[in-house]
Amino acid sequence: MPQVGARPALSRSVEDYLKAIYRLALQASPVATSDIAQALDLSAPSVSGMVKRLSEQGLLEHVPYKGVELTDRGRRAALGMLRRHRILETYLVEKLGFTWDSVHPEAERLEHAASESLIERMALTLGNPAFDPHGDPIPQADGSVAEVESMPLTEIPPNSTVEILRVVTSEPKRLRYLAEFGLTPGSILYLVDRQPFHGPVTVRVGRKDRVLGHEMAALVLCRPTDGDQIA
């Protein structure tokens, strides 16, 4: 008997800010307000205003003209949102037949409306998955996140066999393009060739050789497999 208790206290906007700041902080910290503005497609003054409110609420610390860092409370909230988002994506793909390129915007809205107990019911039904359909790690209920070592396809030496672990874009067109080539988490591929100066990468998936531009190849994160399983 799950109790449906409404969770919020945080508005949809606040939740999206915290999530964006968390992700930007993985790249560089403190996080510049202009980067937040770009990530959320908002004007810089809007972000300045929100940042002030969030720091007053103790969700982040702001050093004016320097940047922003999440407090523990802010980070916990952000991790909670990432968990919700990724459980939802996984559920939509696994249980409702959505494609991996279509679930992001749906999860982007549902993450603010679903109760804690709904998310945990879904997680249970899925067998508490550790990764979502894009290979993104799902933060656990206790706030822990799996750390996975991986390299972009652009850094893999030729003549190696790798497993795809993660694809780091949410753009439907790019996801569809990669899926057409069989480049989804879990697939095994053999790196045939890599050209210098941001040149293309040639990979063999199954029997087919595919040529990928540098920009797309950089989105595909891999792990070397033990032996060369494809010749």
Partner DNA sequence: TCGTTAAATTAGGTATACCTAATATTAATA
Partner DNA sequence: TATTAATATTAGGTATACCTAATTTAACGA
Residues near its own copies (CB under 8 A) are 1-4, 6, 92, 95-99, 102-103, 105-106, 109-110, 112-115, 118, 121-122, 125
- Smaller CB distance to its own copies: residue 8 or 58? 8
Q: Where are the beta strands (DSSP E) in the chain?
A: 60-63, 67-70, 151-152, 160-167, 188-194, 201-205, 208-212, 220-224
Minimum distance from CB of 182 to its own copies (Å)? 17
- Smaller CB distance to DNA: residue 31 or 82? 31
Distance (Å, whole) CA 74 – CA 58: 8
Whether residue 14 contacts residue 22, with contact meaning beta carbons closer than 8 Å, is answered with no
Q: Which partner in DNA, Mn ion, its own copies, none is near 11 (CB below 5 to 8 A by kind)?
A: DNA
Distance (Å, whole) CA 42 – CA 52: 15
Minimum distance from CB of 54 to its own copies (Å)? 22
**Piece in contact with Mn ion (CB under 5 A), picked from 36-44, 87-95, 114-122, 158-166:** 87-95
- Smaller CB distance to its own copies: residue 114 or 165? 114
Distance (Å, whole) CA 57 – CA 204: 52
* Single residue of 70, 88, 118, 132 touching Mn ion by CB under 5 A: 132
In this structure, what token pair is assigned to residue 22?
A: 């968390």
Q: Is 101 in the site for Mn ion (CB under 5 A)?
A: no
Minimum distance from CB of 142 to its own copies (Å)? 22
Distance (Å, whole) CA 71 – CA 78: 10
Q: Which partner in Mn ion, its own copies, DNA, none is near 136 (CB below 5 to 8 A by kind)?
A: Mn ion
Q: At what angle do helices 72-96 and 12-27 cross, to 10 degrees?
A: 100
Contact residues for Mn ion, defined by CB under 5 A: 16, 89, 108, 132, 134, 136
